[in-house]
Amino acid sequence: MDCISVFDMLKIGVGPSSSHTLGPWRAAEAFLKELEAASIFEKITRVRVDLYGSLSLTGKGHATDYAVMLGLSGADPEYVPIDDISSIINTINETTTINFGGKFKINFDPKTDIVFNREFLPFHANGLTFTAINGDEEFSSTFYSVGGGFFTKEDEETSNTEVTCAFPFLFNTSTELLEYCAKENKSISEIMFENEKSIRTEDEIHLELMRIWDTMLECMYIGCHTEGILPGGLNVKRRAYDMHKNLVGSTPYSTPQEWITSIRKTKVYFRQILKWVSCFALAVNEVNASLGRVVTAPTNGSAGVIPAVLMYYLVIENHKGGQKEIEQFLTTAGVIGSIFKKGATISAAMGGCQAEIGVSSAMAAAALCELMGGTPAQVTMAAEIAMEHHLGLTCDPIGGLVQIPCIERNTMGAIKAINAAELALDTDPLHAKVPLDKVVNTMWQTAKDMNNKYKETSEGGLAVAVNIADC
pLDDT tens digits along 344-365: 999 999 999 999 999 999 999 9
CATH architecture under which domain 18-152 falls: 2-Layer Sandwich (3.30)
User: What is the helix, strand, coil percentage profile of the chain, to 5?
Assistant: 55, 10, 35
Give residue 163's pLDDT: 44
Average pLDDT over residues 325-334: 98
Alpha-carbon span 180 to 182, nearest angstrom: 5
Give residue 470's pLDDT: 61
- Binned at pLDDT 50, 70 and 90, residue 2 comes out as confident
Give residue 471's pLDDT: 58
Give residue 162's pLDDT: 46
Give residue 160's pLDDT: 52
Query: Which residues, 6+ apart, have CB-to-CB distance to 169 below 8 Å?
Result: 177, 180, 184, 191, 192, 194, 195
Number of other residues whose CB lies within 10 A of the CB of residue 308: 30
Average pLDDT over residues 224-241: 96
Average pLDDT over residues 121-128: 94
What's the pLDDT tens digit per position in 280-299?
999 999 999 999 999 999 99
Average pLDDT over residues 393-400: 93
- How does DSSP classify residue 139? E
Give residue 438's pLDDT: 98
Give residue 136's pLDDT: 87
Give residue 256's pLDDT: 97
pLDDT > 70: what percent of the chain? 97
Give exposure, 176-194, as e/b (b: 16+ Cβ within 10 Å): ebbebbeeeebbbbbbbbe
Average pLDDT over residues 184-196: 98
Average pLDDT over residues 33-50: 96
What's the pLDDT tens digit per position in 421-451?
999 999 999 998 999 999 999 999 999 999 9
Give residue 242's pLDDT: 97
- Ranges of each domain in the chain: 18-152, 174-470
Average pLDDT over residues 173-187: 98
Transcribe 279-328 into DSSP letters.
HHHHHHHHHHHTT-EEEESS-STTTTHHHHHHHHIIIII-TT--HHHHHH
- Binned at pLDDT 50, 70 and 90, residue 164 comes out as low
By three-state DSSP, how is residue 466 classified? coil
Q: pTM for the whole thing?
A: 0.93
Residue 161 has pLDDT above 50, yes or no: no
Residue 158 has pLDDT above 50, yes or no: no
- Supply the mean pLDDT for the chain: 95
- Binned at pLDDT 50, 70 and 90, residue 222 comes out as very high
Residue 154 has pLDDT above 50, yes or no: yes
Burial of 306 (0-12, 13-18, 19+ CB in 10 A): buried
Give residue 267's pLDDT: 86
